């Protein structure tokens, strides 16, 4: 029996054949990211990306020569907000690799283990200034500072059987633009249309009528045509389908695929003194609805581009000259106004004299009513008050009859034994409006 210790592994270098360099990033279990063959200078960049896009890193270790991150939570098994955050994390990883010159070759599941995730294979394509070994100019992070590539990335996530989400690391305006392309594809290829639209944890989401991602028969054909139209619309905007990654499983245990599209923007150089991480654009879940923010941006630009400036305004008009002295008896001189109020009215007779509400109510005319009770709601509407009934009789018997809700509207008094009406007006306890019976109005 061989009792020799297993061989120890040092840091793995990229697989290389002549000028070809390959490395991988494996997404493992529910919260592990393993860097296999990635250049050491990329490790701090990817670490910063993980912290920015996801959050806490619980542990880092050397796993048989590969650098492994163990994240908090379960980004690859999450639900709800974690589904959006995990795709932002994936976008951040791909963005960081692309910026450093590593293009994604393929995302594939190469393991037979259950609930395993895809492995990302990258090929080095070089940066603007060439490889670090040839240019001779290397940043403190080890990335060629002659220029980093600029790219745009966004993800399209298909959720449940009828929902499409757009998750972008770009501005809300760019996210809104991508969603408009998707809605155009839906309008042209999915005859059932869109049921609703909302912000889902910082991602834009539309809910389609029907079940295009669980359809059978004719609907399955229409669903594929709709997705093909999406890709065509993205290509027309300069984006191409970068990869499709099964990131975790849904509630039903089935893979949840996400499309990643990339647009190679015009390359530009970066200042060697600026940190490389300043180039990262991985966004956390915004506090403000991305749909609302995007629409506000577009609306503002539309107004600024279509606003008409009056051409007849004279440009030679100047502001009126300041007065040399005060122009009001109540105005204080400038040298004194700096130490107190500019205007001061000391004449009490000139002060406003608002009248009390009770005085204004007292001037309201008395409402004359038939019968021995009045109804008041303050006029109704938002300025009114709950409806109340006002007793216009004076005896204890009349009070009890009202309390028992007995109909005592008789005008001859025969059905109300032992009570006598009380002349005079009766005020509402809420608003103060007065009511009085018509027969007693002559007493005033």
Chain segment 116-171, per-residue pLDDT in tens: 788 999 998 875 444 444 333 334 334 544 456 778 888 999 888 899 999 987 77
* SS3 of the chain: helix, strand, coil, percent, to 5: 30, 25, 45
CATH code of the domain made up of 357-443: 2.60.260.40
Interior angle at CA 108, CA 105 and CA 111, nearest 5:
140
Using CA atoms, how far apart are residues 95 and 193, in angstroms rounded to an integer? 33
Using CA atoms, how far apart are residues 306 and 209, in angstroms rounded to an integer? 36
- The answer to whether 110 and 68 are in contact (CB under 8 A) is no
What is the separation, in whole angstroms, between the first and last Cα of the chain? 121
Buried-exposed string 412-440: b where 16+ CB fall within 10 A, e elsewhere:
eeeebeebebbeebbebeebebbbbbeee
Q: Locate CATH 2.60.260.40 in the chain.
A: 357-443
Angle between the N-to-C axes of helices 218-236 and 172-189, in degrees from 0 to 180, rounded to the nearest 10:
140
pLDDT higher than threshold 90 for residue 67: yes
Enter the pTM of the model: 0.56
Share of the chain above pLDDT 90, in %: 21
Angle between the N-to-C axes of helices 290-306 and 172-189, in degrees from 0 to 180, rounded to the nearest 10:
100
pLDDT higher than threshold 60 for residue 182: yes
254 confidence band (pLDDT: 50, 70, 90): low
405 burial (CB, 10 Å; 0-12 / 13-18 / 19+) is exposed
């Amino acid at each position: 029996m061989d009792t020799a210790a297993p061989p120890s592994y040092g840091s793995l270098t990229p697989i290389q054949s002549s000028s070809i360099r390959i490395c991988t990033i494996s997404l493992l279990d529910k919260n592990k990211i393993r860097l296999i063959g990635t250049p050491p200078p990329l490790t701090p960049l990817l670490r910063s990306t993980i912290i920015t896009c996801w959050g806490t890193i619980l542990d880092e270790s050397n796993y048989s020569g590969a650098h492994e991150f163990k994240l908090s939570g379960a980004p690859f098994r999450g639900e709800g907000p974690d589904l959006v955050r995990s795709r932002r994390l994936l976008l951040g990883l791909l963005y960081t690799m692309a910026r450093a010159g590593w293009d994604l070759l393929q995302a594939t599941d190469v393991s037979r283990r259950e609930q395993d995730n895809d492995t990302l294979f990258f090929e080095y394509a070089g940066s603007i200034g060439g490889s670090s070994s040839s240019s001779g100019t290397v940043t403190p992070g080890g990335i060629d500072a002659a220029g980093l590539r600029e790219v745009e990335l966004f993800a399209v996530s298909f959720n449940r059987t009828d929902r499409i989400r757009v998750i972008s690391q770009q501005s809300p305006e760019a996210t809104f633009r991508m969603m408009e392309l998707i809605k155009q594809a839906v309008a042209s290829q999915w005859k059932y249309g869109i049921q609703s639209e909302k912000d889902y944890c910082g991602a834009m989401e539309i809910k389609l009528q029907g079940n295009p991602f669980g359809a059978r028969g004719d609907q399955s054909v229409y669903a594929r045509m709709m997705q093909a139209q999406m890709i065509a619309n993205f290509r027309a905007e300069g984006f191409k389908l970068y990869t499709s990654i099964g990131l975790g499983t849904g509630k039903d245990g089935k893979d949840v695929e996400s499309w990643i599209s990339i647009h190679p923007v015009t390359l530009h150089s970066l200042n060697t003194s600026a940190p490389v991480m300043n180039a990262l654009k991985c966004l956390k879940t915004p506090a403000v609805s991305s749909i609302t923010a995007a629409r506000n941006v577009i609306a503002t630009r539309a107004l600024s581009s279509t606003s008409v400036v009056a051409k007849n305004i004279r440009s030679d008009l100047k502001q009126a000259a300041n007065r040399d002295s005060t122009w009001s008896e109540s105005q204080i001189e400038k040298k004194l106004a700096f130490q107190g109020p500019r205007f001061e009215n000391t004449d009490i007779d000139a002060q406003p004299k608002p009248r009390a509400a009770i005085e204004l109510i007292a001037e309201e005319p008395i409402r004359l009513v038939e019968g021995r009770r009045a109804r008041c709601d303050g006029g109704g509407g938002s300025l009114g008050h709950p409806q109340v009934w006002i007793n216009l009789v004076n005896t204890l018997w009349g009070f009890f009859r009202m309390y028992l809700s007995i109909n005592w509207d008789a005008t001859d008094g025969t059905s109300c034994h032992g009570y006598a009406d009380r002349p005079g007006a009766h005020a509402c306890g809420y608003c103060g409006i007065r009511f009085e019976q018509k027969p007693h109005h002559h007493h005033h």
